[in-house]
Structure 1
């Protein structure tokens, strides 16, 4: 719609109306768009409360903002930023930019659980208009800064998570580096989201502007022309761009509703503040993105309607803090081209020097130069009230300004990139520097500009220096980005850290390291000579458990149950992972509290298993030394085990229970009640599941072996606690596996129970090897025997015998394919079983090659000799008992056997027997003579 009253833009309306009538093919759609844009600009310019449109991280916006703040000196600054982040702004002076304001919530209430953790970040750089406004408001007496955008809670109330997950990836997104992940998967809130949402429009602008991506187009056609413009021209052009992009945006109902609700929210908050304080709108300044400045909602303006109702926040508890940010992180999160934020920082510094505008910086800001207070707080002369004038017509009609070539600057770039390329491994020379210089000028001329931009220079450097391969870690494009300013990474100062992070720094102070410095630092802990360092060791092990990999990495030393550290060596990178440390501070006031909360969350989670809960018990004992928490989590492990109906976690349960039992037996006078109950319940539980596991195809042989290992290794303790061994015998009797490996495992269990002798087991294996139909499956039996070493380690010699017989008797077509299976079985599931086999084989086999030819395996010894040896041993045993009757009586008494010694008649001699039976004597004599 067009305005009916006369105004400063009537001449522009007429020109656009004539152009639309000349070039439009259809109805007045084009005319409506063009005239609507002018109406949006006129409406925003006429608003009594001055609207200052900005673009995020735009040097032109930052310079215009600093200039306008010094001219107008507003008493109230309304800023498009989440209103609940206001307490964080004063902490910016303790940080090194860029940093990001963050709202964080780990426990959600009112949102889907799978969204947790919730995170909202708003990055702040020095070359941004919002930082200029914040610095002005905080360091100027009598100025109030009011954040008017929706709260972090409303961000997730209005924006469905799927909206962010379904957005297409930007082809110009930066590298996936460590710095690019500083913001993680947080939802970004920025001031001045100014980019075409109409894909065809962006493609048209890039093609006709002869640029590769949007950041280059904005730099060439907005940043440079507006860098030296006056306030009215800057303001009207930004409003024009915002209105254009808004009217040509696709009609996504969800996104349109969110945009309009944000505008209604902000204007409602501003009117509430004006009404409550009685401030004159002429003394205020509203800073928002150009996209929202050209709003058409009914709540727009100080005289707008008050029909918008702000919904209450959810019950989610939000934590606010500052986290380090970087140029690459900002580019990755907001879809900007790689290096664009670094180039913007360079352009900002050049604009400040060229325009001589004095920017605002927070007093005490890290890296800031000291400025006199009078320059910041001095009141400027009042600006006379002058009605808005049309600056758009002149700006749109003027030809593009062709900056003259700055040969000195371009030569410096060319020499510096060749020097950097040489350091990076490229075979660059002076000729390459000349080629880059000339190619930059050539590319700029092809793109209708007399002065090469950093993007032209970057393309020229890639063309002239980078040939086929990249010899080092960085390509030429990355080297240019570093040369133009690099990826600056911010840092949150000690005073701005949450209590937990400060506590960590204080407790690690004895290490005498600069923990806030980025990069890896080596810490050496000689705890034997300096016992006070043991407390530092405790902190480091907890940080290793809680923080991402690489933040605290042990080089030497380990922590095990029942052991105390002597010497340790660590690689620490807490400065690099400062964001992770800060987010720990949102969960508690100490790392012990956070660790306890996470262990409880794991143990009581919906997917907790007996094995994972036992792991939390071990971690609570290992890192917190908390018997109270360990007993509570152990009771939880007992509950989870009783409810399990599968045996998937049996190997892990067995391993952890054995370790905990060994620890408690050596460090405690009595076992904790929970572990006694766990062993008793586990014995009955696994006895019940054993027959089903033997026949279940989903249960692996390793899992069944772990069940038997639990039953056999815990049997003595379980029986002393009241369990019945008949349960185990009945469970084994009811097991009827079909799989060969499980069958071998069952035979081993029967040997352990005494239901099957070794001779019978050996006979069964010989029978299998003698059956041609079974030979292909014999390796699977051997795999079962290998796993049987877990529950029945006494069969180690027999397994060595069985494997040796297999190597000697199996044909190569069967043996060779089985060997990889044996190796992978031992590596994956039997790493602790291999030493048993190796040690037993070393004991049985000869140690020298020369003795191998005459060596006879022990299992092939003569039966008579073995029988004779056993009879001799028995005879010696009887003689020993007869020689020491008192010891025998004592053993019998302990076993509960009562009896008396009897005199045994030795019987007749051999001669007397021969006389009594002459026929037998004759036959024996004949046999002996024949022999």
Structure 2
């Protein structure tokens, strides 16, 4: 690098600025160095052998200057500041309606932190941008080569900060809120990193605040439009270049240093100059026939690699092994504004300014042949003149900076039309606007423009005036007046990716849903009606919609009528489809596979192999595979993985979900065929696993009563199947015997388990509950015992009458001063811990209690009713039933032992002659049992 000299075309300007700095600061110090350095940057950039064209993103002035320069110079090679791996996608812009964004996407990361995924980079493109004009010129002009020279998307994240406290790669967002009503369109880019040519905004907060304050504007977009965009709209090429490099150099020099001491902007410039020198050396192109299009911030570069004559080395590191997918996604004006911190409506205003400037200047912009949504002016393409030889650089800055801006008179017709249109829009959206409001907006716009030293009102002045005069702090609908002003100036234009530019999966979805007869590219919600009984050919469409429902956002594919459960398919379905509105999600789905079925299989396998996968997650994947895919091999694979995960679990947090899902899957497989081997393995593994964890779960405070109840539900519900598959029931008995809970709910649950195992009779259980109600110290905790009994209905549903009995006894025995304090606790406990089990209690109570109010007075609870007196012993103790019981005493001995009546009830002289008094009384009290047994055996009593 050579030191700048006072000679050259900018020597006079350098001396003038140095003198001004000395007069201003009193000492030619830092201010003079900065001002002189800015002039040096301009001199250096414009004196470079390779012509540098500085631009600002989505700037109509940059786009107009680009069109003029391309027609005048006719370059043969265009170097564009854009990620180099995005170049193959640019030709697909012909099949899209702008604005769209070029995207690079990666979900499986290698070389990056796992918590970064998925990675996404987008570069939005609008028609009123210099980059689109350069792309259209290069692709539509024979013999012109377009070369993207910026770092690859992989390097974007390689150079990103890896600590949360450091600055992010994307440009600063500013403090501008998205417009009301534009939330969905503003989220089209999601959380992708924005990479865009020409990010030109002060990175020094105090400088931006100073410019906004003295410019009498509210946000940066308005300042740029007033002080840069409008003066440069009709400027010649040299003036435009010098002013843009001047602004870029100013913002570059007045910026804080990076948090990590590394200047990533300079790394990008080294990368781009290295790539350009490599291309020139390989192609042999003449630098005079080349054009380097970059942001004005990078045009004022001071790196050693700057320029074609530099031989400073720069090593470009290799890319990681991350596999990147590239495609086009729809974008919108509001999405661009939200991602890059622009004011709401600024991109729409820029688009309107671009259209107006084309009509005023008569320029014919460059457009890709067949571009959707644009109308090419037939017969008006101008034949560009032969390129003129390069003229020596002349100082245009002195005249531009010393000359006041050209005053543009008030266009009353334009402003009047705006006022009339905004009042019409306001009335359509519920505002009580009138002609008086239109007049007020007209006068207020002129007043605001005068206060801000503007000769004519800008769209920003008009929007402020409309909000002041029409909105009046009241928004009757979802659109405020500022949003209506954006609609007036062109609206939030939303792009669309054409069918030909979609990935194979998205095109396959459109083809397979073709029988529905809907235009799936529309952004409106469309209703699809499927009568699968009358039109069986629509069954594949139904299958695809259910798979898309599982993969896409809920609003993209929403069922209105019909369901898809295990073993059940509806014969009529109704769907709301909004695939055009969620085109980005469908495109990103195409990055994962070629068909929807392939992506679904990959996601199910990925879910069960994830580090945080559990048995319930694996069972959910099994259910989804059986419900959505006709693939028995995949179901078996996922089921075997569920067995592995269950055996490896050390907690019982997912026990309720495991129980619910395995019950449903067992019922499905039993109804459709033989039980798969993985189901049998899951039952046996789960039986042994939960028996092992049961004592710990009863004692562990982190294990809730709901989880322990689900474990017991699995053990008791699957007991018969598990025993038939080789499990030992004594393992469960030992686990229950080793359980010693301390919390009331788990104590009640243990009692229910012991009762189910026959270790605690109903009478003993009733006595335990009576003792609890009789102890005033335990009564406040009684709702927790009830919670345990309610959870016990999962493993022991036969306890429902007993739970109703206990609750009824509590309400009957306890006085109101005791009952009322714990009644809210009882209600909240039942609601939190057993909402799905309370209906069992309600049904049981309906069977127990009388159905009418008069019958309630004479009603006696069945648990308090005294048994009827036994009839004569001789009448019951004789006959064939008595002879049958006397002939087979083993069964009677077992029943007597269970009832606590063990003893020698049969003497030798009574054999075959009758039964003793105890047995006779038992038979007399319960004659129905003996009659049923006799009927089964074909014996008449």
Distance 2:377 2:50 in 1: 31
2:600 maps to which residue? Answer: 595
Residue pair 1:173, 1:331 contacting (<8 A) in 2 also? no
Residue pair 1:705, 1:790 contacting (<8 A) in 2 also? yes
1:678 maps to which residue? Answer: 682
Report matched runs for 1:259-298 at 5 Å: 259-298=265-304
- Worse-superposed segment, 762-771 or 253-262: 253-262
Cα deviation digits, residues 160-214 of structure 1 (max 9, x gap): 2544559875211324701111111111101001001111111111111111110
2:899 maps to which residue? Answer: none
1:487 maps to which residue? Answer: 492
Cα deviation digits, residues 864-904 of structure 1 (max 9, x gap): 55x7799999989926958999xx9xxxxxxxxxxxxx962
Cα deviation digits, residues 602-657 of structure 1 (max 9, x gap): 10111111111111111111111221111111111111111111110100010011
Distance 1:876 1:40 in 2: 121
Distance 1:881 1:518 in 2: 81
Distance 2:138 2:735 in 1: 78
Q: Report the CA distance between 1:568 and its aligned residue.
A: 1.1
Distance 1:465 1:374, change over 3 A: closer
2:800 maps to which residue? Answer: 796
Report matched runs for 1:108-507 at 5 Å: 108-160=109-161, 162=164, 163=166, 170-175=174-179, 177-252=183-258, 254=260, 257-372=263-378, 375=381, 378-507=383-512
Report matched runs for 1:465-864 at 5 Å: 465-668=470-673, 670-864=674-868
Distance 1:869 1:367 in 2: 100
The SS at the match of 1:532 is: helix
Distance 2:117 2:579 in 1: 24
Distance 1:292 1:906 in 2: 112
Cα deviation digits, residues 571-590 of structure 1 (max 9, x gap): 11111110011000111111
Residue pair 1:102, 1:321 contacting (<8 A) in 2 also? yes
Distance 1:822 1:505 in 2: 55
Distance 1:353 1:430 in 2: 30
2:31 maps to which residue? Answer: 30
Q: Report the CA distance between 1:370 and its aligned residue.
A: 3.5
Distance 2:842 2:529 in 1: 38
Distance 1:179 1:819, change over 3 A: farther
Q: Report the CA distance between 1:828 and its aligned residue.
A: 4.4
Distance 2:872 2:304 in 1: 107
Distance 1:283 1:255, change over 3 A: farther
Distance 1:546 1:529 in 2: 28
Q: Report the CA distance between 1:822 and its aligned residue.
A: 3.9
Distance 1:869 1:286, change over 3 A: farther
Q: Report the CA distance between 1:765 and its aligned residue.
A: 1.2
Distance 2:38 2:774 in 1: 94
1:73 and 2:74 equivalent? Answer: yes
Residue pair 2:257, 2:263 contacting (<8 A) in 1 also? no
Residue pair 2:787, 2:833 contacting (<8 A) in 1 also? no
Residue pair 1:2, 1:39 contacting (<8 A) in 2 also? no
Residue pair 1:775, 1:810 contacting (<8 A) in 2 also? no
The SS at the match of 1:570 is: strand
Distance 1:198 1:812 in 2: 71
Q: Report the CA distance between 1:908 and its aligned residue.
A: 13
Residue pair 1:2, 1:36 contacting (<8 A) in 2 also? no
Distance 1:350 1:872, change over 3 A: farther
The SS at the match of 1:192 is: coil
Residue pair 1:2, 1:35 contacting (<8 A) in 2 also? no
Distance 2:873 2:241 in 1: 107
Residue pair 2:883, 2:914 contacting (<8 A) in 1 also? no
Q: Report the CA distance between 1:813 and its aligned residue.
A: 4.3
Q: Report the CA distance between 1:445 and its aligned residue.
A: 0.2
Distance 1:826 1:879 in 2: 48
Distance 1:231 1:722 in 2: 89
Gapped runs of 5+ residues in structure 1? 889-901, 910-931
Q: Report the CA distance between 1:569 and its aligned residue.
A: 1.0
Distance 2:793 2:875 in 1: 32
Report matched runs for 1:911-922 at 5 Å: none
Cα deviation digits, residues 492-536 of structure 1 (max 9, x gap): 000000001111111111111111111211111111111121211
Distance 1:433 1:145, change over 3 A: same
Q: Report the CA distance between 1:256 and its aligned residue.
A: 5.4
Q: Report the CA distance between 1:99 and its aligned residue.
A: 0.3
Distance 1:673 1:869 in 2: 58
Q: Report the CA distance between 1:25 and its aligned residue.
A: 3.2
Distance 1:908 1:112 in 2: 82
The SS at the match of 2:78 is: strand
Q: Report the CA distance between 1:26 and its aligned residue.
A: 3.9
Distance 1:58 1:169, change over 3 A: closer
Residue pair 1:744, 1:785 contacting (<8 A) in 2 also? yes
Q: Report the CA distance between 1:380 and its aligned residue.
A: 2.6
1:904 and 2:912 equivalent? Answer: yes
1:878 and 2:878 equivalent? Answer: no
Shift >3 Å, 4+ stretches: 161-169, 253-256, 370-374, 811-829, 867-877, 879-885, 906-909
- Worse-superposed segment, 709-718 or 599-608: 599-608
Q: Report the CA distance between 1:830 and its aligned residue.
A: 2.8
Distance 1:253 1:283, change over 3 A: farther
Distance 1:432 1:881, change over 3 A: farther
Distance 1:880 1:422, change over 3 A: farther
1:919 maps to which residue? Answer: none
Distance 2:778 2:83 in 1: 74
Distance 1:830 1:145 in 2: 67
Residue pair 1:403, 1:451 contacting (<8 A) in 2 also? yes
Q: Report the CA distance between 1:756 and its aligned residue.
A: 1.1
1:92 and 2:93 equivalent? Answer: yes
Distance 2:379 2:138 in 1: 14
Distance 1:339 1:67, change over 3 A: same
Cα deviation digits, residues 13-51 of structure 1 (max 9, x gap): 121122122112344211111111111111111111111
Distance 1:165 1:828 in 2: 43
Q: Report the CA distance between 1:468 and its aligned residue.
A: 2.8
Residue pair 1:518, 1:573 contacting (<8 A) in 2 also? yes
Distance 2:666 2:380 in 1: 72
Q: Report the CA distance between 1:382 and its aligned residue.
A: 2.2
The SS at the match of 2:310 is: coil
Distance 1:4 1:808, change over 3 A: same
The SS at the match of 1:120 is: strand
Distance 1:583 1:248 in 2: 40
Q: Report the CA distance between 1:817 and its aligned residue.
A: 4.4
TM-score, L = length of structure 1: 0.93
Distance 1:393 1:165, change over 3 A: closer
